[in-house]
Structure 1
Amino acid sequence: MRADAQNEGNGGSGAAAKNTYERYNNADGAPMPKHIPFPDYPNSSELINELVMFLFITFAAAMQFINIYRTLWWLPESNIKHTVNVYLIEPYLIAFIVLLMSRRFLFSLLMRGQDLFKQLSCKQRRIYKYVIKYSFSTLLLLLLSFCVYKIYDRSSFIPVFLLVYPLVIYLLVFGFQIESFLRSSCELEGSYFNGMPMHCCSSCPNTIRDEIDVLKNDFNIRFKQIVFTSLLNAYYAGLVPCFFAVSIYYNIMWTYQHAFFVWLSCLTMATAFCFPSKYSDILHRASLHLGYWSRLDMRPNGACSSIGSGNSSVSSTGPTAVWKPASVWIQGSVVKFNEELFSCQGPVTVAQPGNSSHSRFYKLFRNPSIIYMVLTEMQAAIVLTGIVVLYHAVEWHFVLSLSFVTLTNQFTFFKIMRDYLVTKRIYTAEASIAEQTKTLSTSNN
């Protein structure tokens, strides 16, 4: 098979600028998918993303402390002159939360230090990264352990266990991977460019399937990071201050409501950081090369129909071939694999029939604008719900915390809405061009 392939680093924006559409053919003349150049609009760097997340979680934790330790200073006959009982807050608890929440921002800042030494070679940069990673993680662990020791001296064992419990869960989920603890996304050596996985427009089926395995693994790691990061941040910013509130009366419903809003905000914010539109476009391009097989259900009258696809029946007496891993199959092909029949539903297909991971990958990233549409609706619901709840808030500290969460979600809403509008327009045009190309090819035949 002849592989007329072209590497597209970082989604292929540089190569696509020279030629809007590219056509790749295999030995059988099956046309490979054509991609529309993705617009090169600026995105926030990893350092800015971590800074925004750190500031949001720090101020969210401060709002929760205010909800718990607020005073009645506003009453006319009150002799209290301060708004918050600061002396009741455990200082080492604040230090623990700030240190833990700032770890990724500080690590990103230290990693930016290598940019100051442009004369460093690749080997020296790897040594610099190795030294910074292990020295910083060791120092961070020592400082967190010191804070836990001081807290243990002033409280019982149960609060301390609740304080370190998420770190134990991290070891069970990620193992002893320091990189996942210090960064939101981990890069595989040789497979990334500017923080993004690379996509190679190849016509070789084995190369495409290997690339899908790399992208699928990267997506799973990012997804675990999103879930764990949102839960971890909401836990320390919303729940931990409540666990250490001793002999203090506060509104439990409002504090846990604040923790819930913080969790939703962190979930959408982490998703916007880890899944930018350029990243989803790389997975979209790979899914078009992968294709999709639909299992055919044999009927007693000799016909077979596609399960779950809504397509019309296909005659079982038509041409049917045995699936070969080194072949590129065009739309409408019917193959036999493991005593079952499968129909090609994509423009081209190199996926393994019956492989559920390949099917999920294609269905999820065939049109990523759907993902951003769901995220946009979710973020809009968070903002509108916060406004409605804010309307019914009476006490000053509730108004302050809800206003903070609602206003900061506007930044995430803007980013997700922008990604949705851009991806919708691009993939709608791409689908239209693909349909016109298919119609023209059919008429020529």
Structure 2
Amino acid sequence: MKNIRKTSVANNRNTNGSNFNSISTGQNMQKSAIFSEGMNLNYMRTFQSDPNSPKHISISYESSDHSLIYESVVLFYSLSAFLLQILHLYRTVWWLPQSYEKNALKFYLINPYVICFVLTLIIPRWLWTCCQTLIISIFPQSLQEGIKHYCQMILLATLGIIHFYFLYLIASEDSNLDKTYIKGHPIFRLCCLIYPTLIMAVIYRDEFKNVVELVPSKIGTRDVLLQSSLLQHRCSNDPVQVRQEVETLRKDFNCRLRNVLFHSHTIAVTCTLLPCCFAQTFVHFDMCVAIQHFVLVWAGSLTLNAVHAFPPKYCDILHSSARHLGYWDRVGANTAQTVQCVEWCPKTVWKQGSFVSFDDIIYRARSDLNSAEPSSTHHKRFYTLFINAAFFQISLLVFQLVLVLLQLILLFRSNEWYQMISLSLLQASGGYALFKLMRDAVVVWRLSLAEEMLKTA
């Protein structure tokens, strides 16, 4: 396995031995008292020399493409989805001999203000990535952070002014729309215009500058901010540090997941629904095809963003931290009366099968080592989601395969030329995410097999 490297066991033993020799005499006596014969305590304290400490096999390679390449792919996908929806709305039958149309589209019906408004919503990430690439290649590292901050503010302010300018032009446009239809009503048009901006303001009210970043640049609390690109697993046996690491990783994962969902929703709404909302009232189109296009674009953009936000190396960090965290099961009342338990201590690592009392409730440790808080639902969800190294990547792969299969079925059932073009291009655009997900799934699957072999060795 060329892409996987094993942690050196010999170095761990040397390090563990040196740490063990540095333990004071009083701690040695305490440890011998805990594990002496006749003692019936169901907990243990973890030392650096503990043989039950999890052994990890980490992924050493970076599977993610360069940010500029990825953002270019996303921009191409977004523009393709938008142009295909335009094709659904303004197609013609130019091949008929009685047709007065010479083009495949009715270009004179397309509102240029709507096109510019959509571009202000889907192009900021690509522009910011280009700015970052130029700053990194031109300026020294000591000046990059300050320049990035000011460039980001200037870019957001400029795009905001342009965005609201086109919003004003569309809202105040004097068109001959039939006000009896809902699409021609001014309130409906205004709601369609401000909906993407309103969602953006609600989600990023505290960190609006992150609207142009899929992967957050900094995560953590207000007191301690950590570069998201510097996240790593410390493999600590201190339960307090384990819980702190899990909390940091949990916040980073939630932030990435929120960004993935938001940007996928933005692409789907602005590129597929807005053109339908601002189509003229006399334009007739197949509503089922338009909604089908919205669902396919949303699902495709979701996997396209997820494959970049959650690479295998990042998921391996979460998996390694979950193995140190462990989880607890709540014990029933009948079992609680027959077991011997002690009060849960936050500075203790508990072994499998230990019974503890927390808030007058009995819990049982289910994993090899347990540093989690018994009543914490965050810890339990984190462990359930990431204890299997291949679960997250394989779930994304299954989702993408189902999407490709659905597109194939719809393609075989379609009998209109524009539907065939639309489904074919969407399926071709999803090949990028499918290839990366298949490769990543193979890597994490082999990683899980290697960890099982190491665990049973």
- TM-score, L = length of structure 1: 0.86
**Cross-structure match for 2:307:** 272
**Cross-structure match for 2:297:** 262
Q: Is the 8 A contact 2:218 2:227 kept in 1?
A: no
Query: Any idea what SS the aligned residue of 1:49 has?
Result: helix
Structure 1 residue 280 displacement after superposition: 0.8
Match of 2:145 among 126, 145, 151: 126
Match of 1:27 among 25, 32, 47: 47
Q: Is the 8 A contact 1:372 1:416 kept in 2?
A: yes
Partner Cα separation in structure 2 for residue 186 and residue 20 of structure 1: 37
- 1:319-398 aligned at under 5 Å gives the runs 320-398=341-419
Structure 1 residue 321 displacement after superposition: 2.5
Structure 1 residues 28 and 194: CA distance shift in structure 2, 3 A = closer
Opposite residue 188 of structure 2, the aligned amino acid is I
Structure 1 residue 194 displacement after superposition: 7.4
Q: Is 2:435 the partner of 1:414?
A: yes
**Cross-structure match for 2:189:** 159
Worse-superposed segment, 361-370 or 28-37: 28-37
Structure 1 residue 191 displacement after superposition: 6.0
Query: Any idea what SS the aligned residue of 1:341 has?
Result: strand
Q: Is 2:110 the partner of 1:89?
A: yes
Deviations 1:8-52 (A, max 9, x none): xxxxx9996666985668339543211013141532122222221
**Cross-structure match for 1:307:** none
Q: Is the 8 A contact 2:153 2:209 kept in 1?
A: no
**Cross-structure match for 1:138:** 157
Partner Cα separation in structure 1 for residue 4 and residue 435 of structure 2: 27
Partner Cα separation in structure 2 for residue 186 and residue 39 of structure 1: 22
Q: Is 2:87 the partner of 1:66?
A: yes
Q: Is 2:252 the partner of 1:230?
A: no
**Cross-structure match for 1:218:** 252
Structure 1 residues 186 and 413: CA distance shift in structure 2, 3 A = same
Opposite residue 256 of structure 1, the aligned amino acid is I
Opposite residue 134 of structure 1, the aligned amino acid is M
Opposite residue 201 of structure 2, the aligned amino acid is L
Query: Any idea what SS the aligned residue of 1:283 has?
Result: helix
Q: Is the 8 A contact 1:196 1:279 kept in 2?
A: no
- Report the number of matched residues: 408
Q: Is the 8 A contact 1:369 1:424 kept in 2?
A: yes
Structure 1 residue 432 displacement after superposition: 3.0
Structure exhibiting the larger radius of gyration computed from Cα positions = 2
**Cross-structure match for 2:23:** none
Partner Cα separation in structure 2 for residue 365 and residue 20 of structure 1: 27
Partner Cα separation in structure 1 for residue 11 and residue 56 of structure 2: 6
Q: Is the 8 A contact 2:327 2:365 kept in 1?
A: yes
Opposite residue 242 of structure 2, the aligned amino acid is I
**Cross-structure match for 2:199:** 169
Structure 1 residues 263 and 116: CA distance shift in structure 2, 3 A = same
Structure 1 residues 40 and 19: CA distance shift in structure 2, 3 A = farther
Partner Cα separation in structure 1 for residue 97 and residue 7 of structure 2: 68
What is the Cα-based RMSD across aligned positions, in Å? 2.4
Worse-superposed segment, 166-175 or 207-216: 166-175
Opposite residue 35 of structure 1, the aligned amino acid is H
Structure 1 residues 346 and 387: CA distance shift in structure 2, 3 A = same
Partner Cα separation in structure 2 for residue 397 and residue 433 of structure 1: 54
Structure 1 residue 178 displacement after superposition: 2.3
Structure 1 residues 27 and 20: CA distance shift in structure 2, 3 A = closer
Partner Cα separation in structure 2 for residue 126 and residue 64 of structure 1: 40
Partner Cα separation in structure 2 for residue 20 and residue 420 of structure 1: 30
Q: Is the 8 A contact 2:326 2:372 kept in 1?
A: yes
Q: Which runs of 5+ in 2 are unaligned?
A: 21-45, 176-185
Match of 2:338 among 316, 319, 328: 316
Partner Cα separation in structure 1 for residue 203 and residue 63 of structure 2: 33
Deviations 1:113-146 (A, max 9, x none): 222235341xx22210111110000000011111
Worse-superposed segment, 33-42 or 234-243: 33-42
Q: Is the 8 A contact 1:191 1:197 kept in 2?
A: no
- 1:105-120 aligned at under 5 Å gives the runs 105-120=126-141
Opposite residue 94 of structure 2, the aligned amino acid is W
Partner Cα separation in structure 2 for residue 57 and residue 225 of structure 1: 16
Match of 1:54 among 72, 75, 83: 75
Q: Is 2:169 the partner of 1:150?
A: yes
Structure 1 residue 182 displacement after superposition: 1.0
Q: Is 2:286 the partner of 1:251?
A: yes
Structure 1 residue 354 displacement after superposition: 1.6
Q: Is the 8 A contact 1:351 1:358 kept in 2?
A: yes
